[in-house]
Amino acid sequence: MKTDIAIIGGGPAGLAAAAAAHDAGVKDILIIERDNELGGILNQCVHNGFGLHTFKEELTGPEYAGRYVDMVKERNIPYVLKTMAMDISSDRVITLMSREKGIYTVEAGAIVLAMGCRERSRGALNIPGYRPAGIYSAGTAQRYVNMEGRMPGKEVVILGSGDIGLIMARRMTLEGAHVQVVAELMPFSGGLKRNIVQCLDDFGIPLKLSHTVVDIQGKDRVEGVTIAQVDEKMKPIPGTEEHYDCDTLLLSCGLIPENELSKSAGIKLDPVTKGPVVDESLETQVEGIFACGNVLHVHDLVDFVSQEASVAGEKAAEFVQGRLGTPVKEVGISCKGGVRYTVPASIDLGRMADKQVVRFRVGQVFKNARIVTYADGEQLSSVKKRIMAPGEMEQVILKKDVLQQHGDLQNITVAIETE
Ligand X SMILES: Cc1cc2nc3c(=O)[nH]c(=O)nc-3n(C[C@H](O)[C@H](O)[C@H](O)COP(=O)(O)OP(=O)(O)OC[C@H]3O[C@@H](n4cnc5c(N)ncnc54)[C@H](O)[C@@H]3O)c2cc1C
Interface with ligand X (CB under 6 A): 8-14, 32-35, 40-42, 45, 49-50, 84-85, 114-116, 139, 142, 163-164, 167, 258, 261, 293-295, 299, 301-303, 305
User: In 10 A of CB 283, how many CB atoms?
Assistant: 24
Q: How far is the CB of 197 from ligand X (least distance, A)?
A: 13
Q: How far is the CB of 220 from ligand X (least distance, A)?
A: 28
Cα 94 to Cα 88, 99, 211: the distances in Å are 4, 17, 44
Alpha carbons 241 and 189: distance in angstroms, whole number: 20
E strand intervals along 138-261: 155-159, 178-184, 207-209, 211-217, 224-229, 242-245, 248-251, 255-257
What are residue 284's phi and psi, to 5 degrees? -75, -175
Q: Which of 308, 304, 289 is nearest to 353 (CA)?
A: 308
**Contact (Cβ atoms closer than 8 angstroms) between residue 24 and residue 313:** yes
Between 253 and 301, whose beta carbon lies closer to ligand X? 301
Q: How far is the CB of 202 from ligand X (least distance, A)?
A: 15
User: In 10 A of CB 130, how many CB atoms?
Assistant: 13
Between 35 and 215, whose beta carbon lies closer to ligand X? 35
Pairing of strands 48-50, 135-137: unpaired
Maximum distance among all Cα pairs of the chain, rounded to whole angstroms: 68
Between 164 and 317, whose beta carbon lies closer to ligand X? 164
Alpha carbons 214 and 217: distance in angstroms, whole number: 10
**Contact (Cβ atoms closer than 8 angstroms) between residue 26 and residue 127:** no
Q: Which of 372, 335, 332 is nearest to 348 (CA)?
A: 332
Q: How far is the CB of 167 from ligand X (least distance, A)?
A: 5
Alpha carbons 44 and 38: distance in angstroms, whole number: 12
Q: How far is the CB of 207 from ligand X (least distance, A)?
A: 17
Q: Which of 292, 320, 321 is nearest to 15 (CA)?
A: 292
Q: Which of 311, 320, 317, 347 is nearest to 332 (CA)?
A: 347
Between 33 and 247, whose beta carbon lies closer to ligand X? 33
Between 139 and 153, whose beta carbon lies closer to ligand X? 139
Between 97 and 133, whose beta carbon lies closer to ligand X? 97
Between 175 and 378, whose beta carbon lies closer to ligand X? 175
Pairing of strands 355-362, 339-343: antiparallel
DSSP helix/strand/coil, 269: strand
Q: How far is the CB of 204 from ligand X (least distance, A)?
A: 21
Between 17 and 347, whose beta carbon lies closer to ligand X? 17
Alpha carbons 419 and 411: distance in angstroms, whole number: 24
Determine the distance from the C-alpha atom of residue 261 to the mean position of all C-alpha atoms in its chain, rounded to a whole number: 16
Between 92 and 299, whose beta carbon lies closer to ligand X? 299
Q: How far is the CB of 280 from ligand X (least distance, A)?
A: 19
Q: How far is the CB of 239 from ligand X (least distance, A)?
A: 35
Q: How far is the CB of 124 from ligand X (least distance, A)?
A: 17
Between 111 and 335, whose beta carbon lies closer to ligand X? 111
Residue nearest to ligand X (CB): 11
Q: How far is the CB of 58 from ligand X (least distance, A)?
A: 9
